[in-house]
Structure 1
């Protein structure tokens, strides 16, 4: 399990399993390693900030109070926030449509839960970014992708996709299945 590269690491002096000492924590894609003890993210119920660090509560109600500097606290908290956003379970009853995304030579498939163009754009850009920058998965700045333009293909015509109305109309017109082309031309 520990053959993969960790995303980042930190050291802190805190109590873990009744022992107060200095621990090294490694953060991987699906688990964290505290010294040699593995804690799966699926076993974490809540992560919250407090004045001098982070509090992690596990599903069996264990509490880890990890003191850390402001920058480390922010980084770890954002890591868990991104992890939560990207690992949501999908309720099939809430999916209103799907889109095949064509970006250069790559194709991606995403689902839609609403007709918000901004939500759709964010979902698609994250999917593309995660493909090209898997190691930066939890630190991707979507502002780097602002110049990307979205289009729906109808026969040989590209129709701009720019707002909620365009997205809702396309979902209705194409029976909830979209073929979206993305360019990064201005």
Structure 2
């Protein structure tokens, strides 16, 4: 004999349909929430990528600007050195320092910048063979001494090449 199936009542059928509809809505909502969460995570990663790329561009731009600024500042320092050198040819260190509103040491440092050394080596020893010793004569003119040639350093007489502390204090007084 065949086994009989129990009859389903109309209530059971309606209840099952309501449950299936709720489950379908639940899964549709879950899929939608999952899609939105995925979209959120992708956007967050893209924000990180955009930020990283922007920071790299900013760093590269800043480095380029710093390089350009250094180049411009070096050109201006060269102009300062040239101006101070020309001024020292015409007047004493103290007078130049007073005129520029700088200390005597600052004027000496500007005049002796190492980045200007190659041009100093090009000076004609006949015309511009004098260098200020940091002292001034009674008339306010710098006391100069000849600049020895580059190979004469080994044969030069021993002794200080620049003015000593007593001479510097006398020159700055």
Question: TM exceeds 0.5?
Answer: no
Query: As a proportion of its length, which structure holds more helix?
Result: 2
- Select the structure that is richer in strand: 1
TM tier, shorter chain? under 0.3
